[in-house]
Structure 1
Amino acid sequence: MVMPDSNVKPLTLDDKQVLGLVYDCYVVNKPGETFDPEALFSVVSDILVRSFRTSDPSTKHDPLEKLDKTYLANLEPPIDLLKRFACQMRGTQRHEYHTNAHETTMSILKTLDSYSWCAKAVTALAAFALDYGIFWHLYEQWLQRQDSSLGNSLAVLSNVHAISKNRDIYDYNVVVKNVLITVGHMVRLESIMKTYDGKNIPTLEKAMHEFPALVYWTVLTVVILASHMDILSGHPLGRYKLSDIGSKISTIDMRLKDYLIQIDREKAYIDDYRYRDRIAFQTPTEIVQVLKCLLFRRDVNDPHVYDGSTGDMVSIEVFRTKHVVLFLSGLDSIDDETYLLRKIHEGLEQSDPRIVNGFRKDEFKILWAPIVDEEELEGDNFISGSSNKRQFEEMRRKMKWYVVDYTIIPAICKRLIRDRLKYQNNNPIVPVFNPQGRLTNDNALHMLFTWELQAFPWRKGDDLPHVQKWNWIWTELKKTIPQINSWINDDDYIIIYGRTETDWYDDQWLNKMPEALERIKKDHENIRRFDICINYSHHGKGHKERYTVARFWSYVESTFDSMRRMKAEDIDEDTFRQVKSFLGLRQEHSGWVLLSKGPNVKLLGRGDCFYQTLDDFDLWKHNIEQDSGFDVSLRNYYESVKSELPHHAAHCRQMVLKNYLSNIYDPVHCPDCGLKMKLQSAEYTCCHGDKDEVINDADASGGNVEIMR
């Protein structure tokens, strides 16, 4: 508990006690000072530095800064306060423990309760400088020995002629210099407070909390100096030495200096962060500049990366005018992503067509930038860091694309990546940038896994046509297989199989399909290795199977009919082709099978050939890695099985439309070869079903129509 002011021994107090004392010495909403503390400090600093030169010309001083004349012209100092404080401080009685100086200090702080903390210190120092500066100015006049000079007479009256330079004056001036430097630090610190948010600069926030206590110690020192100013005129210092308060102000000066050094570091970090953020995300203009801001130190003019195709280090200039697929990850558990990017890289390098949607594939470059936390690289984790380096080198050598050495990525870049690209918990992401450095997709990873090159160039929304194009079939299938939703969301392999007619034909494979699928799922080595998760369902199976199958095909026909009625410009050709393919399966008495990866349909084909493919799994499972995927190997083997069918079973499909109401003369193209299908006959059936009468009429429409090639 702090004692009443009359009994306080200030040098026995700690900062916490001081903060309690000065708590009420600042009123935020009260009208404050009407002058600029920085301008007043500039004038005060000029007075004190010139006084130091006069008091000891032999001492080397820092060069004088030229005083801004606008300060002198525009400054309106609180002259009444300055004179009042100067008299109050000079009249403070000396005390062994500076108790009286404490009372004067508190009086000044309370009088200046509407002033900022920095302004309080500057005002107190200005009041001191008023007397101190006049004394040394008169001393300078007296040295000139001009008898007629008014200054010379004032010098005598002020007892300047009695000055005898000694050690006491030197020690006194040292304390004055330290106070000047300390207040200068305060002025700079308050200027920073006005510009930066303390929440972003930890040291600034800490200094702001301690600032009132530091101001107290500074004003206390100024009061003690003023009360001992008679030292300058040769009066002995006696037992009231300034060493104790001199040591205190030196400590305050060092604390402020350390704060400012650390604040400058943190401020430079914030400024650098803002610069990188502005270049990379707010006003990007060029991809190389963006990559420099995201991955490299600013003092590196020409950063280099590994070229996976050669193993050499190359300039980052290789990305100029290129689109960059940036792979951000840790070093662990990225086998799936690496495997995927290997396929993407090969597709960009080898696959045709070279131009898709107006973009050249060879203008897209993959860059891997591993994000490893700093603590893994230093201190007690040196062994871990060495292990990381070995792991990185092994992985880098397996990659054919470009790679950044993770050890050179600064911490500020990692923070920016986490903040702006939402890279969290070492979960891999793949943002995509265009040649102008603009972010075209903040994370294309899911798109790449789902659609691979089909969604090229992987901008936001480029997967929308793929996601939507099979909606017409998923909408209907979800009505009878509700669990499809979760299968799609989990991006699993989905196999749906069923009949093409309500009158059963060759359906032996239907009963064997679950057994074949379960056998594949039990091949744990390949299932785990290639992360294969298979879900399957027999469409329509159950006591209402005939009704479900009939309704399903009626829905497909209706979809086809609706699209045929649409204007050409409104037809989605991909969706129309899918509907025709489905209808083309209807004459396959062996049934149908749909294979998808999530919502992305990979294969639509004959049930018997698909079953044969599954039954021969042991013959093609070793091709999965080479073919870059389970679905690719399955589809390749399926096509080989289908190609071995007899010619009459493998020809182009027919389309049987039992409820086709559109104009039968509208051309329909074969879903297999693309040629126009020939209208061969129109068959009418009595609506009561009592009697069938076949009529071949070129002008007939409606009824039961069979179209074939």
Structure 2
Amino acid sequence: MNSIGKLGAMQKLIKGGRAMPAAAISDDSVLVKKIVAEHSPEGIEYDVRPLLHIVEDVLIYSTLSSDSATTAALTRADHVEDRSHRPGHTNMLEALSAKIDRISCEISYKTLNGVDAHSTTIAIFDMLTIYKWDVKIVLALAAFALTYGEFWLLAQIHDTNQLAKSMAILKLLPSIMEHGSSLKPRFDTLNDLVNNILEVTKCVIEFHDLPAQYITQDISAYTTAYNYIPVASYWATRSIVACAAQITSLTTLGYEIFTSTDAWELSTLIFKLKNIVDHLRQLLNSCHEHIGKKMDAEAYQMLRELFSKPHTDNMKVLKALIYAQDDILPLYDGVTKKRVSLEPLRRKNVLLLFSGMEISTDELLILEQIYNESKAHAPRMESRYELVWIPIVDPNSEWIEPKQKQFEILQESMSWYSVYHPSLIGKPVIWFIQREWKYKNKPILVVLDPQGRVSCPNAIHMMWIWGSAAYPFTSSREEALWKEETWRLELLVDGIDQEILNWVKDGKYIFLFGGDDPEWVRRFVKEARRVATATQIPLEMVYVGKSNKREQVQKIIDTIIRDKLNTQYWSEQSMIWFFWTRLQSMLFSKLQLKQTDDDDHVMQEIKKLLSYDKQGGWIVLARGSHIVVNGHATTGLQTLVEYDAVWKELADRDGFEPAFKNHYDKVHSIVSPCCRFEFSHSMGRIPERLTCPECRRNMHVLTTFQCCHDEKIDEDFFVSTVTPPTI
């Protein structure tokens, strides 16, 4: 056949595909109307993934390498996984091989007889009415793979196999391979189209694999995708027909026949399929997001139910919180520096330390000390407990290299167990600890007994207050310790400053004071020393700073040193931090135990001191262990200033202690400063109601925004972005 004759035959072979009205081509609803109307699946479930794996292997190996056009060497062949002999493949092929063969013959027959692409596509769908959409596409793709794979198999081995050589001659392959370089752009375009067909196919399969129990027709993305699948199936199958026509033209008419119209058709189909893939991916992402939320909500509910049931040991609970599978070692041992399973925690008391990456060095050092003391001093049979750090990070933020390094530094500094990586902790767990255990951003220490029951929802407060004496860190132990406790100076400074405890033993008068006004500090120290000299009392003084404003506190300390003020001070910021952390822990411990009644003297005094700190400054006067006055800075200074004029005679007659307290109370009743408490949103258990420690009335609730300029904001805003599901 001469070139003119070949061209006429080729035009006849593909004539219908170009003769369709433009409106029909652009209107997808018109194109798929018939196949949608006749779509009647019998409900037979086929897992077509094994078949798709085989087809994909055929299409991957059927690639003309640009490095060796004449031998069609497959550069990726050595790196492609062999998936042709997996279980389930044989049964699938036995059930569908006859149908695949029929489709392959139908495509070849109609293509050779010049039937247009649309009609051929409809004919294929007519053969597949009883199958679901994903099965239809995979069967059509498998039928094409038979032709496409045979073509490239002969191309690859015809030089070395006599049978293949003879068959290749019948299919005009030698002349095609001789012009491989000039045909490469054509094959590249064909391969691009095949890859896009595969992408559409995978999207349709993925859509059909969506778990029905988590997604329904009332979900917009699901409904849109459901209605769009026939369109995607049509264009994928029509593209298969176009690819088959290209191979048929090569093996029947020769390599010369490839017009600009052919190139335009393939490029148009590639563009069309890419748009389909993008659209399906967007819809699938929306569906997966919806499913993810449903699954997370379900996992959250399962966690709640798990903690409401009795268990023989703690493993179910720990697996649900940390990592449920057995495929990896989820813990990191801080002693051996190796990864381990959850098994070392079985039937032990487990302290779960939840915190963000902002946990401070001060907190870790004190925790380390308490942890080691508890391990060393606890009775042998009762020392079966372990501490596990569970890092909580924003699941929506990107995990970048600086965060990984920060995490590794923290992990290496701990001598206890830690979760190997924060990504193991899922959203449901974060929701659970936020809602059930009131975690926000401040560290909490949840104690589980050997059966996985919560024996304390947050033991961090009793750890700060009593250290290892709080072992085994249960709520009952916390209650017992408070029953033994009184409002005394040791409660405030125990474990912080041994020298103050020595003064207590000696029965000295002790002023603890704080504030951020250097002028007030100068005057207070001067007046206190003057009155102490006048009354001839042994007085010691310590500047303890404030609960915040670290830089301002440091300036006060610098002033004390520079002006040589006759008072001691805590030079280490960690001591100041721990003093206020313990004091705040006392408040939260009482709140957690619901010991907030007005008759609780310790609670009222704690509230006073915390309130005075927020009002600017404070003083605590003690004689030995006994606290004489827990007061406001301004009132305390005024009391000292008025010694000579007002209460000197009373001090001479009754002594310094009752005289100071008597006059302080009088001044305080006149000045009557407001009381104020501030609860950061990072504090988990914020009380809904609080009574004033002065007048016992309910306090007003206000929302305050504050910036102290010299502080690092340690609020993690992900707390407000990870919202637990509505119960």
Query: Which has more radius of gyration?
Result: 1
User: So what's the TM-score if we normalise by structure 2?
Assistant: 0.42
Say which structure, 1 or 2, has more relative contact order (CA 8 Å, 6+ apart). 2
